[in-house]
Structure 1
């Protein structure tokens, strides 16, 4: 499908695993992004660079083989941009993640045919498989994005969200408003 008919554009880091293979036996994959994939992913995530990106992903069939549970860990060396100085900020990202996938036929546009317990975590709400496949590369990229520091700053640089104005801290007392009943007090007979 092309983006014109509602599909998402292709991921920069694709690694597909067949759900049928996982239903036969648990699958463990170690994946590593190529230099071209890291460059494209860095652009998407607005990073200066991704020096390395690897993940170890385990897939196993659950719920009678209908769904696939994915758990993994990723390691990445990235270069972000300091939000204060715009200098490069190297960082290491280490994340664990889990997800549940179900066949597209089980997930309808109007909701899930599966009974969903509202107390379930996001990892327990299934995502649709694409053509009976799971893209563990894109799943890794999404969790890399979630693991990035949202406000990276260079060593020794503090983030201040506004200029502090000493006058701003002063309490300004408003003049006392006249009491509307003061006039009546004057009319009251004095003993």
Structure 2
């Protein structure tokens, strides 16, 4: 397995039952590598602040991930600046822990990430949080005009025409 582009390992033996705050920031090189991985034009900033504590099931990390990225419009490829300010609530569970695959979920459940038992990776957690917060199909202000120019109709335009086309076909069948 390839090492993550943005790795900030926190050893488990440094995390106690009381909360400890950890702040991380990606370097320019790490941001460039993550931008390539997530197919972004650029990542101008990626920071995370986590409050860590151990519990019986693993390590709980709560905090925020903030980022400034530039995505590409899926229609025009125009650059779209986007900011991310996402809360984080994770439980890191040792991959070799008994019953690691059988975690009961309730309304207070945290998203889980596996770790090797020795250290958790807050950098990868921040990168994944940022990526999940982004619109997978971003459209810029020129997207609708470009689609119209290419002859693509909107969903709103297609629905009435589709219904009328079905009615027209039924009427044609009835006429002798």
**Shorter-chain TM-score: what band?**
0.7 to 0.9
SS at match of 2:144: coil
Q: Which has the higher helix share?
A: 2
Q: Name the SS of the counterpart of 1:105 in structure 2.
A: coil
1:53 aligns with: 46
Alignment CA distance shift 1:119-1:155 (3 Å): same
Q: By how many angstroms is 1:57 displaced?
A: 1.0
Query: Which entry has the higher C-alpha Rg, 1 or 2?
Result: 1
Partner of 2:87: 96
Which TM-score applies when normalising by structure 2?
Answer: 0.79
User: Cα distance, 1:118 vs. partner?
Assistant: 4.3
The alignment partner of 2:116 has SS state of: coil
Structure 1: stretches of 5+ with no match in the other structure? 4-8, 179-191
Question: Structure 1 residue 24: deviation in Å?
Answer: 6.2
Residue pair 1:107, 1:128 contacting (<8 A) in 2 also: no
Distance 1:167 1:26, change over 3 A: closer
In structure 2, relative to structure 1, the CA distance for the partners of 1:15 and 1:168 (3 Å cut) is same
| Cα root mean square deviation, aligned | 2.8
Instruction: Look up the SS of the partner of 2:110 in the other structure.
Output: helix
Residue correspondences, number = 164
Q: Distance in 2 between matches of 1:132 and 1:100?
A: 15
TM-score by length of 1: 0.73
